[in-house]
Amino acid sequence: MAKGLEKHQARQAALNLLGKDLTRRSGAKCELCEASGTPLRVFEVPPEEEEPDLDKCIFLCGTCSEQLSNPKRLDVGHWRCACQSVWSEVPAVQVMAARVLDRLGKTELWAREALEDVYFEEDIESWIASKPL
């Protein structure tokens, strides 16, 4: 048990080292909903690599982070922001926004329509499909 805890703490420490770079990239805003003035958390976009990778991490507000950790309870109104964030230049942001839209698209027409308008490169498409919400 202690070994697993140590491994988890080491990974968290490595993720926290990415904070400064993520702050610069995100402009100190949530990369999905653009919330500012709120604490941001490093979120690894699954599937995770052996070592944390800046290109596979995004900065999220508490609301986005909590909802992504429990996708059965997504607040539909909050996630309309994914229609904009899916157009991000950051692939990891595109992936998470597309996964949210795909999940919501099962019941929400606007989410399906938003995904229909977007073209993804093949590697992004396979990343999106590798671990749906």
Q: Are strands 40-44 and 57-61 parallel, antiparallel or unpaired?
A: antiparallel
Structural domain that includes position 121: 2-130
If one counts the domains in the chain, the total is: 1
> What is the structure's pLDDT at 71?
86
Residue 1, pLDDT > 80, answer no
Report d(CA 100, CA 126) in Å as an integer: 15
- Render pLDDT for 25-76 as a digit per residue (tens, 0 to 9): 999 999 999 999 999 999 999 987 777 888 999 999 999 999 999 888 899 9
DSSP annotation of 4 reads H
Q: Is residue 93 a contact partner of residue 25, using CB atoms and an 8 Å limit?
A: no
